[in-house]
Amino acid sequence: MKRRLVLLLVLLIAGAILNLAIAWSCAAWVAPASATPVFTSGPLAVGEFEGVTSRRAFGHTRLSRATFRVSADAESTGGIDEWEWHINGREYSETQAGWPLRAWRCRNYGDVERATATSVTTVAKTGLNPIVGGIALTPFSPGPMAATWRALPYVPMWPGGVGNAALYAAALGLLIAGPGWVRRRIRRRRRQCEACGYPIGTSPVCTECGAAVSSG
Ligand SMILES: [Zn+2]
């Protein structure tokens, strides 16, 4: 029983390490710019909107969030084509990494993008763009920084992180315990000792290795 608890603990720790390793691999090597930007917006207050641009690549999502004001002209025509960015720290882009669930995140308060079907607008506050909650790396490529900055995130996103770690632990457990379980089933069906494979006679213990023989 104690051995099983130790094994479970080891599996969970291995799952947690894998969760970080896979998330960081995706954050470092899967460029968000490879995914098409999807833009959504919703009202926050009168005349004020929040816009979110999302690029969802494999194991790596890049979000840009910003609030916008709509000019009176644009509002009267029902359009939202004249945005005014708040350059006040309320906008940021965020990396969320992990697979299959997003498990770690970090933010960049300097590089934000707004991408619609017809246009991509980026705001870059050069010199004001510390990565918060992540280790900055060289960008994936030159170009709109909101889609190309690169960092290893270390702020946990709990539901995703716990889910990934449990999934990896279960997969590792199956890899480790699965073959032995199958072998014992086969030996049992062939009326062999589950421990060593020696044919079972009438003795309650294996006459070869001394292991207890399960009946049935
Ligand atoms: Zn045996």
* C-beta separation of 130 from 75 below 8 A: no
Confidence band for 146, pLDDT divided at 50, 70 and 90:
confident
Assigned domain for 182 exists: no
Give the distance (Å) from ligand 1 centre to CA of residue 9: 30
Give the distance (Å) from ligand 1 centre to CA of residue 7: 24
Give the distance (Å) from ligand 1 centre to CA of residue 213: 8
Q: Phi/psi of residue 184, each to 5°? A: -65, -40
Structural domain count, the chain: 1
pTM of the predicted model, to two decimals?
0.79
Lowest mean pLDDT of 48-52, 100-104, 127-131, name the range.
127-131
- Burial of 206: CB neighbours in 10 Å, binned 0-12, 13-18, 19+: buried
Tens digit of each residue's pLDDT (9 = 90 or more) over 191-205: 999 999 999 888 889
Q: Are strands 155-156 and 150-153 parallel, antiparallel or unpaired?
A: unpaired
Give the distance (Å) from ligand 1 centre to CA of residue 153: 51
Assigned domain for 136 exists: yes
- For the chain, give the mean pLDDT: 85
Instruction: Give the span between the Cα atoms of 167 and 80, in whole angstroms.
Output: 43
Assigned domain for 181 exists: no
pLDDT at 189: 92
Say if residue 167's pLDDT is above 80: yes
- Burial of 153: CB neighbours in 10 Å, binned 0-12, 13-18, 19+: buried
Q: Which residue shows structure tokens 């960008």?
A: 139
Assigned domain for 55 exists: yes
Three-state DSSP class for 135? strand
DSSP designation for 49: E
Assigned domain for 198 exists: no
Give the distance (Å) from ligand 1 centre to CA of residue 194: 7
Residue-level length of the chain: 216
Give the distance (Å) from ligand 1 centre to CA of residue 176: 22
Q: What range defines the domain where residue 84 resides?
A: 2-160
Say if residue 81's pLDDT is above 50: no
Assigned domain for 199 exists: no
* C-beta separation of 68 from 74 below 8 A: no
Give the distance (Å) from ligand 1 centre to CA of residue 204: 11
Say if residue 84's pLDDT is above 90: no
Instruction: Give the span between the Cα atoms of 80 and 51, in whole angstroms.
Output: 11
Give the distance (Å) from ligand 1 centre to CA of residue 182: 17
Give the distance (Å) from ligand 1 centre to CA of residue 173: 25
Assigned domain for 188 exists: no
Assigned domain for 210 exists: no
